[in-house]
Amino acid sequence: METHWRYRITGVFGTAIIAFVGVVLSNEPLIRSVTGLVPVLSTLPADRAVGGELLFEATTATVVVLAAMAPLYKPRPRRILDTWMKAVRRTILALLSLATIGYFDYTYQLPRATLLVTGGFLLVALPLWFVAIRRRPAETGERTIIIGDDAAPIREILRAVDRRVIGYVSPPSAYVGDDQPPAVRARKTDGGEVPSPIETLSYLGGLSRLEEILLDYDIDTAILAFDRPDRAEFFGALDTCYKHGVAAKVHRDHADVVLTNGAAGSELVDVELEPWDWQDHLIKRAFDLAFATVGLIVLSPMIGLIAVAIKLEDGGSVLYSQDRTATFGETFTIYKFRSMVPDAESETGVKLSEEDSGGRDPRVTRTGRIIRQTHLDEIPQLWSILVGDMSVVGPRPERPTLDDDIESTVSEWRRRWFVKPGLTGLAQINDLTGTEPAQKFRYDMTYIRKQSFWFDLQIVVRQIWKVLGDLCKLTHG
């Protein structure tokens, strides 16, 4: 707990100093001249820099910034990119609040020019500060827990661990503590009364409290010991570790359902929760935002024409929504221009379109056939990219029901869940669809291993070329 308070005090004092210094520096003559704001600020009193007005302005700005950055004072483990983006968002909120104060002509408002300079300084300094002081639990490897759903795999993991484990997290049904009836303890220790290693561990709580436990105990490493790693609880635990910067390990027998670093010779292998380097991740997200924004603006006339055409054909809804699988097995809603008759799956159920395998699907409308052939039905997914549910390039997301069906034939299918799904991908530019899951999986894994910004760019260029080719074929057909 002492570490918690040290982090909070450091975060608050650092933020206050940065905010106060930012306002003071923005009023220095040298800074004014460098930023070209001398004419704007020339009407200010000459003694303003040493007067009470500047002091009050700096204090007001500091209080506002301190309040805006409050969520970042929580001592939770964070990854670099998450820390940076959260600090940027909170800084922007603080600047908007200060601008609002100025709009209402508050007596000690921050002058507009001063706010511009201060804002630029804070948008760089505050994210750097929180990145510098962020919790780095994964670097120490000293606070480890086991997460599982059954006593047997937890005991197996304990035998393979070569570090101190402070406790385990599991459903109450897997708990084998001394306060349970002897018959229950005997059954859960393979029928014997001799204590097993799990009985020497502290029971920290159930899976529903995992996030709270990671924070309260400053956990840096979690070892997953699930009886069946293909269940939602397994990927839910991985997702929680990912969000809080906690390193995750699994037994090598379960390595076929996760991305690993390929280490051999050890019973435990590291899970690559974030295959991208954070620099590439930042560039990729910036590209996603630019691509989606420009695409929605440029294609806005086409969006209007397609919407009118769909509506005129049968009067049904313009958009069609589906639940798709995101990272770590979570789901999100994807939108497409409706290309089939209304309620197409109400009688036939969830199934792949026959057009995916080169056939003719009677459920597809005339307008739908055109927009499917030219991939224009995918345009609304630019919104999913904009809000962060998808990326421009990545494995195409499937419906959860189809994911379960495909996994029965492609056992490693869930490895795709470690990368954000994409609008297009290596499988798509090679004309592979969900009717060929094994080949599609191989292309997806090739992309995951080779992924980089420049590789993404090559895939996007090839996809755009394919779309233009399809449009030409349709025009001359």
Tell me the two tokens of residue 309.
């055409």
| 45 and 131 fall within a common domain | yes
Tell whether pTM > 0.75. no
Regarding whether 168 and 121 lie in a shared domain, the answer is: no
Indicate whether 182 and 143 sit together in one domain: yes
77 burial (CB, 10 Å; 0-12 / 13-18 / 19+) is buried
Do 119 and 168 lie in one domain? The reply is no
Domain identity same for 98 and 174: no
Domain closes at, from 270, 302, 335: 270
Count of domains forming the chain: 3
Question: 296 with 336, same domain?
Answer: yes
* List of residues 6+ apart from 342 with CB closer than 8 A: 314, 316, 317
Looking at the structure, do residues 89 and 224 belong to the same domain, yes or no?
no
Q: Are residues 217 and 289 in the same domain?
A: no
In the chain, the amino acid numbered 283 is I
One domain, residues 461 and 320: yes
Task: Tell me which of 116, 135, 154 is where a domain ends.
Answer: 135
Q: List the CATH number of the domain containing 181.
A: 3.40.50
Does residue 433 share a domain with residue 300?
A: yes
Provide the token pair at 264. 């051999």
> pLDDT (tens digit, 0 to 9) for every residue of the chain, 477 residues total?
445 678 888 889 999 999 998 888 877 665 555 444 444 444 444 444 445 677 877 888 889 999 888 888 877 666 677 788 888 988 988 888 888 776 555 544 556 666 777 888 899 999 999 888 876 544 445 688 999 888 888 888 888 887 788 888 988 766 555 544 443 344 444 444 434 456 677 888 888 888 888 877 878 889 988 877 666 788 888 888 887 778 888 888 777 777 776 555 577 888 877 766 666 777 888 899 999 999 999 999 999 999 999 989 888 889 988 899 888 888 899 999 998 887 766 655 555 555 555 556 778 888 888 888 888 899 999 999 998 899 999 999 888 888 878 877 777 777 788 888 999 998 888 887 767 888 888 888 888 878 788 889 999 999 988 888 877 877 765
Q: Among 117, 135, 153, which residue terminates a domain? A: 135
d(CA 137, CA 221): 8
How far apart are alpha carbons 4 and 215 in whole angstroms? 10
Q: How far, CA to CA in Å, does 434 sit from each of 254, 357, 407?
A: 25, 9, 12
Is residue 162 domain-shared with residue 227, that is, in the same domain? yes
Domain of 119? 2-135
Q: What HEC string does 72-127 produce?
A: HHCCCECCHHHHHHHHHHHHHHHHHHHHHHHHCCCCCCCCHHHHHHHHHHHHHHHH
For residues 55 and 192, membership in a common domain is answered with no
Q: Which residue has the tokens 């269940």?
A: 231
